[in-house]
Amino acid sequence: MTQIKEYFYFFYYEIFYKSQDKKNILSKLNNLGDLSFNYHRLKSRSDIDVLIELYKLLDKSLNKKVKT
């Protein structure tokens, strides 16, 4: 499993499958992109660290696909 797939697999597993309240979780997951990549939203240091790690994984994944 690639790192990016592994990241999202464990993310969704922790957030969705371990949660008892599926309705509220689904609405949060649907807004994940907006919450994660909205530059105008205030973020904690922990949020920023996770975003940096996610950007690195996405960049690494994209670079593998773009190289010929």
- Give the pLDDT confidence score for residue 60 in this predicted structure: 82
Distances (CA, A) of 64 to 1, 10, 15, 33, 53: 14, 22, 28, 22, 17
State how far the Cα of 16 lies from the Cα of 4, in Å rounded to an integer: 18
- Give the pLDDT confidence score for residue 48 in this predicted structure: 82
Mean per-residue pLDDT pooled into runs of 10, the chain (68 residues): 77 79 76 71 80 83 68
- Give the pLDDT confidence score for residue 1 in this predicted structure: 60
